[in-house]
Amino acid sequence: MGIPFKIKMLNSVIFTRAENPKNGASLAEPRRRYRGARRRKRRTSFRKHRTRQLFIREGLLTQQDITAYLNQEISHDDIWQLRVAALDQRITSRQLFQVLYYFVTHRGFKSNRKAELTDKDNGPVLKSISAFETEMTENGYRTIGELYAHDRRFQDRKHNKGYTDGFIGTVKRAWLVDEIKRILAAQQSLGNDKITDKFVHQYLDIFESQRNYDVGPANGPYAGDLIAKMVGPDTFDRSRKRSPRATYTFQYFNFLTKLNSLRVADSIGGTYAPLTDDQRQTVTERLWAKGVKSADLTFKQIRALLSLPDGARFNLVTYSGDAKKALEIEGKTKFVSVKPLRDIQKALDDEQLANDHELLDAIALVLTLYKSDDKRRTKFHEQTTLPDDKIEQLLPLNFAKFGHLSTHTMQAIIPYLEQGMVYSDAATAAGYDFRDNQIDMEYIRENVTNPVVRRAVSVANKLVKAVVRRFGKPDSIHIELARDLSKNFQERKQEEQYQKKNAAANEKIAQQLKELGIPVNGMNITKMRLFNEQNGIDIYDLTPNASMAVTDIFSDDLYEIDHIIPYSISFDDSYSNKVLVSAKANREKRDRIPMEFFGNDPKTRAQFVNRVNTNIHNAKKKRNLLKETLTDEDKSQWKSRNINDTRYLNRILMNYLSQNVEFTDVLSKAKHVIALNGAVTAKIRSRWGITKVRVAGDLHHAVDAVVIACVTDGLIQAVTRYAKYQERKGNKLASLDDLQDDNPDGLDAKRFRKLFNDYPLPWPEFREELHGRVSDAPDKLMAGHPWAHYTPEEIAGLQKPFVVRVPNHRIVGPATLDTVYGQPDPDSNIITQRVRITDLKLKKSKNGDDTIAAGTNAYALAEDGGNKVVYETILRALQAANGDGKKAFPEGRVMVKMPNETIPVERVRVTGKATSTVPVGPKSVAANGSMVRIDVYKTPKKYVFVPVYVKDTVNENLPKKAATQRKSLADWYEIQPQDQFEFSLFANDLIHIVNKKGIKTTEINADGMSTNGIREEIVGYFTGADIATASIAFDGPDRSFSARSVGFATLDKVEKVSTNYFGELAVVHETQPLGFTNKGD
């Protein structure tokens, strides 16, 4: 009846995060970047095509002339000297083509919107433009081309791309337009009658053609009003679109929401209370009264407005432990900012317009949805009656982001917020009930923007459906959302740094304990940390001699760790709720807060406050210690907050499961889905003696799931009674009270104490059952024991849980990698590549000599010795810097003394062996992009595999060459008609392999250490293939072992296996390799 009594099934289902594991970037980012590059290339190519056609159409050149020029059959002039010469002397049509053809690919900076001219990201560009303007004026240059040709700074380089010394400058497109006009006018005046006004107009039309952001890339999913298309629906009313955050309505709504959630305590340990009506009115007028121009409101300003005492604290401010810094922190912490609204009002520069709320909303909508000036002007004329001068003043403003509600919905809720209701109550009063929201996968896609969370919800949804299909309606579903799931990559890295710092601090304490001869364990480390934090002072001992001897604190008879807010009340086991105190004081304190323990004597309380302020610097801990009273509401909220996880994402998932899963009627609807706080389950797991070893595999997730499932209301009540008993058992009077008041079964004292002396378990022998179920052989380990809920047949059928990994069958990624190489030598298959000298490293040759390498490629001394001086200079520099190119060449270049001059060298040409490349030009190749899968075949002699890359997905026929060890692609084995196709393997597909001679593995032990192993038979997840060695790699199901460079030809048996969410395996039989739908023309 809703009470767990047996482990029916347990398993781990693992899926990859929907992000780049290296930097946390979106998986769509490369595709977006490549799409943008293709779009720019397509548009540049079209401008070049139109320029060629213009010269042919107007009779300046023939198609043959242009072809000869583009194929380098005609020598090219120096473009920079040519641009200057064209201003004063007649040049040929071919030379004019060279100049104008260059211009359509190098067009300078131009923005379609004024807002971009104030964009911080364009700071270097705008600064460079300003510097160029000054230099042209001071030196009398007629054109920017003349500046580049004559200024000594640009003798060696004139472009930004591909150099180590960074950005050198950007020119305005308007300057280039002026230069083009000057050149064409000069050529007209010098007698070139084919340069007509029509020619000039048509060329400038080609040169200046540019789509603005709002128009987009012609027809398609990214065309026209892209931002407007992406705006999601109102959370409460899906027929309406969400409002921009820059609107007056949103800014005022957001302010009221925060104002009504603000609480103030008169002292550090005081009770937080909402603001009074008068206080709310005072704060509101500070920001929203007519004529107010300030955009920000800090907590320090609120303190002054409300004349709060120095000891007062705000619930929305994170204070440090130093009370003196409270005002400083409040001064830096913004309560709210309405800067977008103030920017609009300032641009309008009209008091009447600046207070027209409907107009302010319309302005914010236009400035958020549209980015080009032309589109904004059009929309302003359509949606407002603003005069042109006001519109021009608004154009430099740029806003982004939307709220979750429409303007209509917020306006309906605002009257109730103005009455002081918190947001949830105000929404309900306005007729919007959160419980009425239909939460489906579409709603989640619209409201959950984090792709990592989206994937987690999607997998959880599929898993729940599978469990329901297998076992029927559940009584309840318990979930625990990983603490870092909703955090971005940077936040997780910061958390990792904090954990490393904490681990280092614990290691330092562990060393102290070893020196003192004290056992190193979690309890003793915590005691030592608390001892150090409290400066060796017993916080509850108010006598002058309150110092603790470090050698005594490890005796449980003398000193104990106390939960400041009793655990039976708060369920808070965090470090901020712990102090090290004498066992005697802890017994006397019982299940009370410190201020209750010290009574109502003002002198005693003052002593305790002074003791805390002097020795405790953790702000949360100080607040717990000085909390004056503990109301029933405090107790209820404290326990609920620490047991339940009420984060937004949890609420969405809970509501989704509640609405979309059919439950039994054993439990109330409120108990159908429970989201637990990870800290509580971690504490309970620890008390049950269940260790969590992450490094030894992924089965710990299955163990976590069992623990989470067992944390029911009944268990929480049992833990509460246990904690309360432990807190009071040292006090005889309290123990007698418990025996009388909390003993419904009428047990005698001895049996009562025994009942509460052991930490509650979900059912007897729970630990033993869990240990047996996750063991390597549960059928053997659990056999012969009289289990209450297992038949002998069930025991015999038990198997070790098989960790399930979600396979990746998506075909994504570029067809080739970015790096371009020279055409491979047809005989040696050697490729060349130019690399920065900072990428070079020293590498030892087989005979121990120093050689120069860049990754797997080598920079070698040429056979004719032509690069000897450069080679030896680089070699000496690397040797002096311990082989590190970045340290050897901090400026990205090296000056090489040649016989007649000293030259700078920034790049060198390296060589390497090509295995599989793709032509990307007449004289260049690139390495293959992502490997999509491998197709496995069985020849009469052995197994082979054919790698299938992204580029192969658009070819008419699938590849038929099998990877052959240490041979070039041309020499690979060709699949023959008699060869039997077995199956295709994608990343994370399961395989079963057998090698009677043994497969070398890396085994991960429980302590995280790795050892070498040998296995004859393996079922594991395929992780990749190496075409150079014709080998594969895979991980064990739970990552407790792995194997790399497993020679495919040496295997005796290879099978593809599938698994469901329950770890049940089945052999997969495939008849032919599947083709792809995205074929090329």
Just list the catalytic residues.
563
Q: How far apart are CA 166 and CA 1037, in angstroms?
A: 48
Q: Are strands 477-479 and 673-675 parallel, antiparallel or unpaired?
A: parallel
Instruction: Answer for the pair 950, 813: CB distance below 8 angstroms, yes or no.
Output: yes
Rounded Cα distance between 268 and 662, Å, is: 47
* Angle, helix 407-418 to helix 248-261, in steps of 10 degrees: 40
Q: Are 263 and 314 in contact (CB under 8 A)?
A: yes
Helix (H, G, I), strand (E, B) or coil at 610: helix
Rounded to whole angstroms, the Cα distance separating 1062 from 320 reads 48
Nearest residue to 206 via CA among 180, 182, 230 = 180
Alpha-carbon distance of 731 to 588, in angstroms, equals: 6
Task: Using DSSP, state whether 479 is helix, strand or coil.
Answer: strand
Compute the distance between CA of residue 927 and CA of residue 725 in angstroms, rounded to an integer: 69
| DSSP per-residue letters across 256-287 | HHHHHH-EEESSTTSPPEEPPHHHHHHHHHHH
* Residue 599 token pair: 């009574």
Residues 957 and 953: their CA atoms lie apart, in Å, by 9
Q: Say how many CA atoms lie within 13 Å of 324 toward its Cβ.
A: 1
* Cα of 334 vs its chain's centroid, Å: 26
Contact 71, 100 (CB under 8 A): no
CB atoms within 10 A of CB 375: 19
Closest by alpha carbon to 883, among 862, 863, 905, 859? 859
Residue 335: how many other CB atoms lie within 10 Å = 21
The Cα–Cα gap between 366 and 370 comes to 6
Strand 13-14 relative to strand 804-805: parallel, antiparallel, unpaired?
A: parallel
Q: Please write down the HEC assignment for all residues of 55-93.
A: HHHCCCCCHHHHHHHHCCCCCCCCHHHHHHHCCCCCCCH
- The secondary element (H helix, E strand) that includes residue 944 is strand 943-949
The C-alpha atoms of residue 1049 and residue 936 are separated, in whole angstroms, by: 11
The rounded distance, in Å, linking the Cα atoms of 456 and 479 is 12
Partners of 911 in the beta sheet?
Answer: 832, 858
Query: Strand 857-859 vs strand 894-897: parallel, antiparallel, or unpaired?
Result: unpaired
Using a 10 angstrom Cβ sphere, with 0-12 exposed, 13-18 middle and 19 or more buried, the burial of residue 64 is exposed
Phi, psi for residue 409 in degrees, rounded to 5? -65, -45
Sign (positive or negative) of CA dihedral 212, 217, 218, 224:
negative
Instruction: Enter the tokens of residue 960.
Output: 């038929």
Cα 887 from Cα 880, distance rounded (Å): 9
Find out whether 397 and 427 touch, Cβ atoms under 8 Å. Answer: no
Query: CB of 316 within 8 A of CB of 362?
Result: no
- Percent of the chain as helix, strand, coil, to the nearest 5: 45, 15, 40
Query: CA-CA distance, 612 to 533, in Å (whole number)?
Result: 11
Q: Answer yes or no: are the C-beta atoms of 859 and 888 closer than 8 Å.
A: no
214 within 8 A of 372, measured Cβ to Cβ: yes
